[in-house]
Structure 1
Amino acid sequence: MADQDQSNQENQDPSFGLQRTYVKDISLEMPNAPQIFLEQEGPAVEVSIKVGGQRLADTVYESTVTATVTTRIGEQVMYLVEATQAGIFEASNIPEEQLDPLLGIVCPTMLYPYLRANVADLINRTSLPALHLAEVNFQNLYEERVAQIAQEQGSQDSGIVLPPGVTRQ
């Protein structure tokens, strides 16, 4: 009987693990090559980071981190790199209020080093100077996203309480 109780307890313990990482999408564009190589001016670099994900099965989730790097000299694009690093995670018996932060902070933090390496490798293959993405605080990004969603919902709130199942038109 004690073995059965222990087995039931183990089945209820929270578990989380990375199952697999993979490059979901990656692209490099150099629309102004080879003329851009003759430019003497230093480039300006813009970096954008996005986090996404989806539920694949009851306890299996895909998390993604996408980096878009645009390097320009003046108005001309030197190169544009877009890469999406993905991972499959197993998360079971995680309280609902902890699941979203887990998927929005912990998973991207685990994937980001792979993304940084892939972007650096791709840029290195252009024969242009190396570019290494800076560290990202995914907790700050998550908190900003939650605050933005709350603000958007607050600005859309008219003060009218709708019954369950009824949506605004």
Structure 2
Amino acid sequence: MSEQENQGGQFALERIFVKDLSFEVPSSKVFLGEWKPEINVNLATETQRIGDTHFEVTMTVTVTATNAGSTAFVAEVKQAGIFMVQGVAEPQLSQLLGAYCPNILFPYVREAISDVVNRGSFPQMLLAPVNFDALYAENQRQQQQQAAAPAPLQ
């Protein structure tokens, strides 16, 4: 076993930042009617290597609220973090970037969504907790199934 493997890997959060934020209220008529919204939340993460030992993990959350059949608001936040990862082998690296880092970013994106929706004068919007470990495991399972599936005949 090499000295690096014996010592284990290194991991550090170096920066968390809002990469992009948008909020749209298509029509002010939404404020005149009864508020009975339907909320749709989409969440995605993306990882990009930005150096030999650094990765940028970006979580995008888009919240769309419709009320009485029309869009009340659309809020989108891209929350990112720069993480230093060294001496961590694949598949641990994949899980670290795909589950652990999103767990770190989620409270920040949750706060940003809540804040921007509140500033739009809508009732408080708190995103429900997300189990990123379970999402990661499900994503891995789906990828394995797709890889094992026979190729379609041409």
TM-score (norm 2): 0.90
Q: Deviations over 1:133-164 (max 9, x none)?
A: 11110011111211222222233536xxxxxx
Which one of 84, 87, 90 corresponds to residue 90 of structure 1? 84
Correspondence for 2:100? 106
What is the alpha-carbon distance in structure 2 between the residues aligned to residue 24 and residue 50 of structure 1? 14
Correspondence for 2:133? 139
Q: Work out whether 1:48 is the aligned partner of 2:42.
A: yes
What SS class does the counterpart of residue 35 from structure 1 fall into?
Answer: helix
Question: CA, structure 1 residues 109+10, in 2 after alignment: closer, same or farther (shift >3 Å)?
Answer: same
Identity of aligned residues (%): 40
Correspondence for 1:67? 61
Indicate if the aligned counterparts of 2:4 and 2:87 stay in contact, CA closer than 8 A: no
TM-score (norm 1): 0.83
Which structure has the greater CA radius of gyration?
Answer: 1
What is the alpha-carbon distance in structure 1 between the residues aligned to residue 49 and residue 146 of structure 2? 24
- The amino acid that maps onto 1:15 is Q
Q: Work out whether 1:30 is the aligned partner of 2:25.
A: yes
Correspondence for 1:161? none
What is the alpha-carbon distance in structure 1 between the residues aligned to residue 33 and residue 80 of structure 2? 36
User: How far off its partner does 1:51 sit?
Assistant: 1.2
What is the alpha-carbon distance in structure 2 between the residues aligned to residue 96 and residue 9 of structure 1? 15
What is the alpha-carbon distance in structure 1 between the residues aligned to residue 35 and residue 150 of structure 2? 46
- The amino acid that maps onto 2:22 is S
Unaligned 5+ runs, structure 1: 1-7, 159-168
Which one of 9, 13, 20 corresponds to residue 14 of structure 1? 9
What is the alpha-carbon distance in structure 2 between the residues aligned to residue 23 and residue 11 of structure 1? 36
What SS class does the counterpart of residue 53 from structure 1 fall into?
Answer: strand
Aligned pair count reads 152
- The amino acid that maps onto 1:39 is G
Correspondence for 1:163? none
Aligned CA RMSD, in angstroms, stands at: 2.2
User: How far off its partner does 1:62 sit?
Assistant: 0.5
Q: Higher relative contact order by CA 8 Å / sep ≥ 6: 1 or 2?
A: 2
Correspondence for 1:149? 143
Unaligned 5+ runs, structure 2: none
